[in-house]
Amino acid sequence: MEDKIEIIDNKEENRFELFVNGKDAGEIDYQIKDSKLIINHTGVNKEHEGKGLARMLVEYAVNYARENNFKILPICPYVKIVIERNKEYHDLL
């Protein structure tokens, strides 16, 4: 059986939350300031590491930034690396 993966924007907590089969599995903490999506932290729970879920969170954040005409300021080292390695994201820096 394939896992059901869902990402939601919890605006009250300023985080994109990742759920696998309805259970909390990870998050990206962010702030929005001066038309910038500032990404402070990305985390995936231990049992879900190595499955590409952190990357899915980054892709969600990238799409969110594009849809809202934000630039991205990656404070989180993981997000910084993913964006730097993907030329199609460079316009968001």
Average of pLDDT values for 65-86?
Answer: 97
Inform me whether the pLDDT recorded for 1 exceeds 80: no
Name the residue ranges covered by the structural domains of the chain: 5-92
If you compute the radius of gyration of the chain from its CA atoms, what whole number of angstroms results?
13
Inform me whether the pLDDT recorded for 89 exceeds 90: yes
CA torsion 1→19→58→28, rounded to 10°? -160
Average of pLDDT values for 83-90?
Answer: 97
Query: What is the pTM (predicted TM-score) of this model?
Result: 0.95
Number of H-type helices and E-type strands within the chain: 2, 5
Class at the top of the CATH hierarchy for domain 5-92: alpha beta
